[in-house]
């Protein structure tokens, strides 16, 4: 099967794309449009003039507008009424037609939850489905997708079987599985569980969870992290893995910042967790979880073996070496 290779790119990342990058990708998700006064707002995206260049470099590329992101509100209020959903979906169609886009990706983080500091309501569960249906009716056969948080909470906050039937694919954010709420150092984007870790904070467990909830294997896109998570004040046992930390898992360096000089200055040693099929750095008190080329290759191999649709990554500007995208292309690109 032809796999999706999808890049999330914030506005400042768009000028960083190369012709080689475009040849390795099938999709770009523009991050982000917002919901403002119930309608689509594109004020964050100021490099849309580059889209014709991207299409010249790769005429087959699909360019999709992602709407939302962490801390982006307005969804619950807009989706509460049929009139609100219709007005919003109409503004999305207008933007798609005006800019020549290939579809819309909804990144509502998260229905029925205010953990990102946005409004929520128990009715979000049904309204999420109704919003997707309104967008499908407006967009026709254009791409419609959504990004899903990697946990049971997202399934509980949505009508997953109905939502999955409406969209073309579901993008699982299989990163940040240990995050800014977690004081246990560990992998944030691992393929499998570390020895002794009973929590479902790994890609395989999340994929199987969403499949049981009603998403077909061939509609699932897993996520890769081009950035790290970092814990400090970690107990010096087991190279810090699964140990308590004084900090939560804060955003760490981007992949391209994990240079030899960075490792040397911080006294870090690279480690490989064969059980989790994931890499990490440790210096005696600080633990950094990141996706290495080897870990990413294993994740791509799993995508092939499990019959999944593809892989997406957050975020393009975090690897200025372009090495990780080339690993994905080597493993999943058309032969």
Alpha carbon dihedral 165, 171, 175, 181, in 10-degree steps, equals -50
* CA dihedral (111, 112, 113, 116) positive or negative: positive
Confidence at residue 30, expressed as pLDDT on a 0 to 100 scale: 98
CA pair distance 291, 226, nearest whole angstrom:
7
Strands 103-107 and 143-149: parallel
Confidence at residue 1, expressed as pLDDT on a 0 to 100 scale: 73
Interval 147-176: pLDDT, tens: 999 999 999 999 999 999 999 999 999 999
Q: According to the 3-state scheme, what is the secondary structure of 264-316?
A: HHHCCEEEEECCCCEEEEECCCCEEEECCHHHHHHHHHHHHHHCCCEEEEECH
Q: In what order do the strands lie in the sheet with 250-254?
A: 250-254, 227-231, 287-290, 278-282, 269-273
Positions of E strands within the chain: 4-10, 27-36, 39-41, 62-68, 103-107, 143-149, 169-173, 220-225, 227-231, 250-254, 269-273, 278-282, 287-290, 310-314
Confidence at residue 335, expressed as pLDDT on a 0 to 100 scale: 66
CATH topology of domain 4-225+291-332: TIM Barrel (3.20.20)
Interval 100-155: pLDDT, tens: 999 999 999 999 999 999 999 999 999 999 999 999 999 999 999 999 999 999 99
Interval 176-224: pLDDT, tens: 999 999 999 999 999 999 999 989 999 999 999 999 999 999 999 999 9
Alpha carbon dihedral 67, 73, 74, 75, in 10-degree steps, equals 60
Q: Are 281 and 270 in contact (CB under 8 A)?
A: yes
Confidence at residue 267, expressed as pLDDT on a 0 to 100 scale: 98
Across-strand partners of 62?
27
Interval 255-275: pLDDT, tens: 999 999 999 999 999 999 999
Cα–chain center distance at 25? 15
Q: Are 311 and 299 in contact (CB under 8 A)?
A: yes
* CA dihedral (187, 191, 193, 194) positive or negative: negative
Is 90 exceeded by the pLDDT of residue 55? yes
Q: Are 318 and 255 in contact (CB under 8 A)?
A: yes
Q: Dihedrals φ, ψ of 331, to 5°?
A: -85, -35
């Amino acid at each position: 099967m032809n796999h999706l290779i999808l890049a999330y790119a914030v506005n400042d990342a768009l000028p960083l794309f190369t012709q080689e990058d475009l040849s390795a990708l099938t999709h770009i998700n523009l991050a982000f449009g917002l919901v403002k006064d119930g309608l689509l707002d594109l004020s964050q995206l100021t490099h849309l003039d580059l889209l014709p260049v991207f299409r010249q470099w790769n005429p087959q590329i699909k360019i999709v507008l992602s709407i939302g992101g962490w801390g982006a509100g307005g969804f619950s209020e807009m989706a509460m009424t049929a009139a609100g959903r219709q007005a919003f979906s109409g503004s999305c169609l207008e933007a798609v037609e005006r800019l020549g886009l290939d579809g819309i990706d909804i990144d509502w983080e998260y229905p029925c939850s205010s953990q990102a500091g946005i409004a929520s309501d128990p009715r979000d569960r049904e309204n999420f489905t109704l919003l997707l249906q309104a967008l499908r009716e407006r967009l026709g056969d254009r791409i419609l997708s959504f990004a899903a948080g990697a946990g049971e909470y997202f399934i509980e906050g949505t009508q997953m079987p109905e939502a999955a039937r409406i969209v073309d694919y579901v993008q699982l954010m299989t990163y940040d599985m240990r995050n800014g709420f977690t004081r246990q150092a560990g992998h944030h984007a691992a393929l499998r569980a570390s020895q002794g870790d009973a929590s479902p904070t790994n890609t395989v467990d999340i994929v199987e969870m969403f499949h049981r909830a009603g998403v077909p294997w061939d509609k699932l896109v897993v996520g890769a992290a081009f950035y790290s998570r970092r814990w400090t004040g970690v107990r010096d046992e087991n190279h810090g893995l699964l140990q308590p930390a004084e900090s939560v898992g804060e955003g760490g360096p981007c992949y391209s910042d994990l240079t030899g000089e960075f490792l040397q200055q911080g006294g870090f040693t690279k480690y490989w967790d064969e059980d989790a099929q994931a890499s990490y750095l440790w210096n005696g008190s600080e633990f950094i979880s990141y996706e290495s080329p080897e870990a990413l290759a294993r994740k791509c191999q799993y995508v092939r073996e499990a019959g999944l649709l593809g892989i997406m990554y957050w975020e393009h500007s975090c690897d200025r070496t372009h090495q990780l995208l080339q690993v994905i292309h080597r493993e999943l690109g058309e032969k």
